[in-house]
Amino acid sequence: MTVIVTGGAGFIGSNFIFYMLGKYPGYRIVCLDKLTYAGNLSTLAPVMGDERFRFVKADICSREDVDRLFAEEKPDIVVNFAAESHVDRSIEDPGVFLNTNIIGTQTLMDACRKHGIKRYHQVSTDEVYGDLPLDRPDLFFTEETPLHTSSPYSASKAAADLLVLAYHRTYGLPVTISRCSNNYGPYHFPEKLIPLVIANALNDKPLPVYGKGENVRDWLYVEDHCRAIDLVIHNGREGEVYNIGGHNEMRNIDIVRMICKELGKPESLITYVTDRKGHDLRYAIDPTKIHRELGWLPGTRFADGIKKTVKWYLDNREWWETIISGEYMDYYEKMYGNNEI
Ligand code: NAD
Ligand code: DAU
């Protein structure tokens, strides 16, 4: 079995590659990644010498490169993680999000049609459903919840999802889609809330909280997401969407306080900054379908997962210190300089 994993030098894709190589000794895993600011080849260092693994630097929007790779590798399964993934960046500059997230998806699916595959899997997000009100804890996103996006990022992901379903209906492409809630864990890029707060706290820098910190996210340990995708690509029904989430809703401010406590840092580092434009209030996944059909349940409790994650950032300082010493600094200055309220 040959699996092409796009975006495998990023956060979730790299965790998925480690998971798959560990679980399936007979599988060949080919990672296709453009190595944007979010992709790090050093992340894949542990598997670079593995003869079952190949890394190819390419853009999912390049028909020529994608076609050549498919012709060489003849993949059975394609799992598309490659995306521009940060909401704040999509608000600043939507264009690259539309290109990678929509046109890139089309390019991959056209190659799948041409070369024939057993399964194309689109890694999507709960953000395609928009948000839920804070005062209705009884409401959850199901697979039937209408798509109702808020940011250029989520709009691009929803557009891609519709295209994937259209390729299934029109061309019979064997597709599945998973829509997961917020992930956390090792190799999370330090522009996202949890790793940013850990890195800043360790450097005794302000911890930026948007608005009042009351927005709610539904957090899942990254390995649980990888296990769910493994189940969907092998046992999920073609043409179906599967929501993935662990009923672990937390307010942003509570997460930040928890990290301060874990690191023994003072809450006085917390700094309230200007809110994100169009900021989604609450995400909450109903994972009944994937549990009922595929037997998936989350394995890591948040209290344990956040401890493991903090420990990983303490043990792997070089990984994130290298990142925050480069081009990232310009981004950080642009986003957070003079932004205190
Ligand atoms: P990430 O930003 O950490 O990694 C994205 C990877 O894609 C990087 O390695 C980057 O180099 C690569 N990439 C970007 N543009 C590319 C292109 N044009 N061609 C080839 N490679 C390209 O993202 P992530 O957080 O790991 O998210 C992976 C996927 O999961 C995304 O599709 C995202 O929408 C989805 N998702 C993320 C979360 C989350 O909490 N992070 C939750 C649900 C779904
Ligand atoms: O729900 C799944 C989505 O989760 C994925 O589709 C996205 O790719 C992923 O980036 C993530 O999106 P969020 O916008 O929820 O994640 P982020 O870490 O950027 O922000 C989490 C919450 O924390 C959100 O309410 C905004 C807030 N926040 C974020 C940052 C970066 C802050 O308060 N301060 C910050 O500095």
Atom 42 in ligand 1: which residue has the minimum CA distance? 182
Query: Which protein residues are within 6 Å of ligand 1, measured from CB?
Result: 6-7, 9-13, 33-36, 38-39, 59-61, 81-85, 100, 104, 123, 125, 157, 180, 182-183, 189
* Mean pLDDT value across the chain: 97
Please give the model's pTM, rounded to 2 decimal places: 0.98
User: What distance lies between CA 220 and its chain's CA centroid?
Assistant: 11
Predicted pLDDT at 341? 64
CA–CA dist 98, 47 (Å, integer): 31
Domains of the chain: 2-274+283-336 (3.40.50.720)
Residue 3's DSSP bridge partners are 29, 77
**Could you say which of 120, 129, 153, 167 is catalytic?**
153
Average pLDDT of span 263-285: 98
Residues 6+ apart with CB under 8 A from 45: none
Q: Report which ligand 2 atom has the smallest distance to the Cα of 256.
A: 33
Query: Which residue would you say has higher pLDDT here, 106 or 326?
Result: 106
pLDDT in tens, 87-145: 999 999 999 999 999 999 999 999 999 999 999 999 999 999 999 999 999 999 999 99
**Could you say which of 33, 73, 84, 127 is catalytic?**
127
Contact between 6 and 32 (Cβ < 8 Å)? yes
Predicted pLDDT at 327? 80
